[in-house]
Structure 1
């Protein structure tokens, strides 16, 4: 189900540098190639190490991202990571940027 949701949203968001293969989203970013597991949300730089990205859940602010498709917060987390790494030149977080330079 999550794969179908991601596939549907990719076209809605106009993201064309992501391919879904098995249980992974394969992303060709400007800073590198990434693999995000659709079950766990674990991110790996292809041919390299795991990238740590900690989600910040906004339970007190309500469901803002994908409540119309799936109420599972893990789906919203994974979709957010896909969007983030598909546009990796826009990443400003120094913790993530340090990991991308390793």
Structure 2
């Protein structure tokens, strides 16, 4: 654990605490806190990955790449929109932010 830490206080059902304590002992964790921290870390990583990562089999990936490579040329309306956006950026009317 890092030198600085945050506190997380929880009120849980005694049966859940006993379940976690049993699992903690079975995994050889040094403490219930260590077990709970590891469980939170693993679950959090899994939830974030499921929300942010797309997994494709080879066939789906190949179809995606082919669709990207076969994209049609931009039409006049799209080109005008791009010019308007560029102009707004040059004038400072538009803030560009990265999407995470």
Structure number having the greater strand percentage = 1
TM-score (norm. length: structure 2): 0.29
Which protein has greater RCO, CA pairs closer than 8 Å, 6+ apart?
A: 1
In our comparison, the structure showing a higher alpha carbon Rg is 2
Structure number having the greater helix percentage = 2
